[in-house]
Amino acid sequence: MVNTRNMFANVSTNGAWLHESIPMTDPTTVSGPVTTSLSHFCLRVYAALMTVPRGRVTTYGALARAIGCRSARAIGGALRKNPFDPRIPCHRVIAADGTPGGYKGRRNGEAITEKTTLLASEGVLFHNGRLADRGCFYEPPHAPSAIRTEDTA
C-alpha cells in the first residue's frame, strides 16, 4: 500500500516522492531533470494515481476530484505526459462510461490493446468494450488542501 500522507506532503515541494515511491531496478531512470521538468499539476495527478491499487481502476473525473481539479481532460493531458508508465499506472484510469479511454495519447489501436492487456493481467476485464465488473472501481482519496491548489490546468 502506498503511503499517501507522505507522498502528498512531498509532492507540494519538489516531486522527490517519485524517487521513494516508484519501485525501480535502476534508480537513474528517474533523474532530477525529469522530475523538475514535470509541472506541479502533473506531480499531483501522479501522486493521486499511485493510490489506485492493482486490480482496480478509477476515472479521469474521479482523479480530478481527488486533487481538486474541475477538468477530467486536464487529467488526461497529465497522464499523456507520464514518463514513468507503467510504474505510475496510468493504465488504471478509464473513461466515466466504463470504456478504456485513452492510453499513451491514443484512443484506439495497439495502445488500447496494451492498456486492456495490462489491466487484464491485474484482473480487470472488459466485456463488449466496457468494464465488466463495476466492483473494480476505486475512488481515490482527496488530497490535503495544501495540494488542492488553483493551478488546475
Low-confidence stretches of the chain (pLDDT < 50) are 1-17, 19, 21-33, 146-153
Closest CA to 143 of 8, 21, 2: 8
Neighbouring residues of 87: CB distance < 8 A, sequence distance ≥ 6 = 22, 23, 24
The pLDDT assigned to 152 comes to 47
The pLDDT assigned to 55 comes to 96
Closest CA to 45 of 19, 20, 73: 73
The pLDDT assigned to 52 comes to 96
SS3 content of the chain, % helix, strand, coil (to 5): 45, 10, 50
What is the value of pTM for the model shown?
0.75
Options 42, 69, 90, 136, the catalytic residue: 90
The pLDDT assigned to 144 comes to 62
Q: Is 90 a catalytic residue?
A: yes
What single letter denotes the amino acid at residue 95? A
pLDDT tens-digit series, residues 27-66 = 334 444 455 578 899 999 999 999 999 999 999 999 999 9
The pLDDT assigned to 11 comes to 46
Question: Would you say 93 and 115 are in contact if contact means Cβ atoms under 8 Å apart?
Answer: no
Q: Domains of the chain, with CATH numbers?
A: 4-136 (1.10.10.10)
